[in-house]
Structure 1
Amino acid sequence: MDQVLSSVRNGCRLLKIFLDSPKELGVTELSKKLQLSKGAVHKLLSTLESEGFIRQNEKTKQYTLGYTLLELGTKVLTNHDIVDFSKPFLDQLVSRTNELAVLCVQDSKDAIYVAKEDSLHPVRFTVESFRRFPLYSTSAARVLLAYQPEEFQDEILQEHPLKSYTPHSYTSVEQIKEDLVTIRRRGYEISSNRRNTGVTGIAAPIFDSTGHVTASVSVIGPSDRVMPKQEEILQETLATVRAMSAQLGYRMS
C-alpha cells in the first residue's frame, strides 16, 4: 500500500460518490461523505474540473460528473471484447425468450451490467446499464459470486450491512451462502422478488478456457410471464452460456 497516493485515492473516492447519489452535489455534502475538510474537497474538485472529470453548474454552483468520464467509459466499452462478443448471443436469446437478456461482469467487489438487449414485449422490465451493485443483490451477480473462493465471498458478505431491496430480499449472510452453494451445485440461479417485486431472473455463468467464470447471462422479466415458461427460459439460457463458453475455449471435463 506504500505505492498508493492518498490524493489520487481521494479523487477516485469523490468520483465514485456520484454513482449512488443525486446528479449534482455541493462541497459541504461531499465533505461529509468523504470525511475530508471543505478545503481539501475544493482542491480535489478544482483539480478534477481542470481535467474534465468534474464540471460545475454555474447556476447552482454544485458539481456533477464531466464529459471526460463519458469518453473514457466509451473507450472501455470499445475495448471490452466480451461486450461485442456477447451481442449476437443476447440477440438470439431475446428472440427465443422475448424477455430482457443481460451480460453481467464483476469489477473488483461489485457487479455491473455491461450489455443488454431489451424485451420484445411492449410491457417489459429493463435495467440500467453500467451501474454498480452488490455481488449478492441479483441472480446474475450471485452467479458470479458463487464461483469465487469462499474467503472472497465472506469478505463481500461481511464488509457492509446487507442491503434490503424488497420484503423478499435476503436478510442474513447464512441465507446467501446457502444460495451460493446451490448455484454452484446446479450451475444456475432462479430468483424472484429479491431485487424487484414481481420480477424473476434466470442466470447462468460463462466460463473461459481456463475454467474461470468471466461473466454471467441472465434473462429477466415480469414473474407472471417468466414463471410459466421457467423451464423453457432456463434451457435457452443454459444453451446460450454453453455456446459462449465453448467459443471462449472452455471444455467441460
Structure 2
Amino acid sequence: MLRTRMADSTGSLRPVPAVEKTARVLRALAEGGRPQGISELARALKVSKGTLRDILLTLDAHGFVIRDADTRFRLGPQLRALADASSPDLRGLAQPHLVSLMETFGETAILGVPHDGKLEIAARAEPTSGLHMSAPLGRRLPLDAGAHGKVLLHGEAIGYDDEQLFRGVRAVAAAVIDARGRRVAAVMVVGFKERVDLRTLRRIGERCATAAAAISRRIGARGVEEAVSA
C-alpha cells in the first residue's frame, strides 16, 4: 500500500512554494550576470522584500549566494560545488566515440580540453599497430593553433589543419558544447599526411562533428546540431 501511494504521489507535481521561489531567485541571479540588490530582485520576481530577504539570507548561510559589502547578492561557491558533483564524466562520454573514429579511419582520435591557455589531451584512442600519431595523455598543445584552435577560439563548425601545426601532419576537429553554449572540448583526429588525403580529411571531419554533437547533447547542450555542423 505504501509503495502504491508513493508511486501515485510522484506521478503529479505538487510545487512547494518556498522551493519554487528559491529556484526563481537563483535563476534570476544567474541570468542577471551581476550582483543584485533585494529591491531589484523583488521587482523582477514580483515577491515581497521580506520574503526575498529571508530566502537570500538562508542561501547565504549555506554558501549558495554571497552578500557583498554593498548588500547586493551574487551566486556563491557552493553552487559550483554542486554543479561539479553532478557534471558528467566528459572523458568517459567521449571514449566510445574516440574508439569508433579510430577504428573507422585507422588514425589517432583525441579529446582535447582547454587548460591554462593550452589544449590538454584528456582522452585518446590510438591504433594498436601500424604507423600512427602518438598522443600521450596530459600532453599540452598551443590552444590558438591547429584544427582545435579554429573550433574552440574562432567558432568554426569543423576545423581543418593541413600541416599548420606540425609538418607532415593533418588534423580535423569539432567542438563539444556544454549546456551554457560554451565550447569546452574538441574531438580530433590526427594522422600523417601520407595516410590522410584531403578528401578523407573531410569525411573524418563530418564524423568528428557527429561525435562532438552526440557528446554535447549528453552534457546538456541544446540546438547543438546546428551549432556544430552548420
Q: Tell me the TM-score range normalised by the shorter chain.
A: 0.5 to 0.7
Q: TM-score, normalised by structure 1?
A: 0.50
Preserved contact between residue 88 and residue 219 of structure 2 (Cα < 8 Å): no
CA separation in 2, counterparts of 1:108 and 1:213? 15
- Pair 1:210-2:218 in alignment: no
Structure 1 counterpart of 2:214, one-letter code? A
- Pair 1:249-2:213 in alignment: no
Q: TM-score, normalised by structure 2?
A: 0.55
**Per-residue deviation, 1:141:** 3.8
Which runs of structure 2 are paired with 1:26-105 in the superposition (5 Å)? Answer: 81-105=89-113
- Pair 1:232-2:207 in alignment: no
Residue-by-residue CA offset, 1:165-223 (whole Å, 9 max, x unaligned): xxxxxxxxxxxxxxxxxxx2x41111121222111000010011111111001000011
Structure 2 counterpart of 1:194, one-letter code? Q
**Tell me, which stretches of 5 or more residues in structure 2 are unaligned?**
1-86
CA RMSD of aligned residues (A): 2.0
Aligned twin of 2:115: 107
SS for the counterpart of 1:115 is: strand
SS for the counterpart of 1:190 is: strand
CA separation in 2, counterparts of 1:138 and 1:191? 5
**Tell me, which stretches of 5 or more residues in structure 1 are unaligned?**
1-78, 147-183
CA separation in 1, counterparts of 2:127 and 2:191? 8
Aligned twin of 1:191: 161
Paired residues, number: 137
CA separation in 1, counterparts of 2:181 and 2:103? 28
Preserved contact between residue 99 and residue 121 of structure 1 (Cα < 8 Å): no
- Pair 1:119-2:134 in alignment: no
**Per-residue deviation, 1:102:** 0.3
**Per-residue deviation, 1:140:** 2.0
* Structure 1 residues 141 and 197: alpha-carbon distance in aligned structure 2, compared to 1, 3 A threshold: same
CA separation in 1, counterparts of 2:111 and 2:102? 12
Preserved contact between residue 203 and residue 218 of structure 1 (Cα < 8 Å): yes
Preserved contact between residue 98 and residue 120 of structure 1 (Cα < 8 Å): no
CA separation in 2, counterparts of 1:85 and 1:240? 10
1:137 aligns with one of 137, 145, 156 = 145
Preserved contact between residue 105 and residue 144 of structure 1 (Cα < 8 Å): no
Preserved contact between residue 119 and residue 141 of structure 2 (Cα < 8 Å): yes
Aligned twin of 1:200: 170
CA separation in 2, counterparts of 1:210 and 1:123? 39
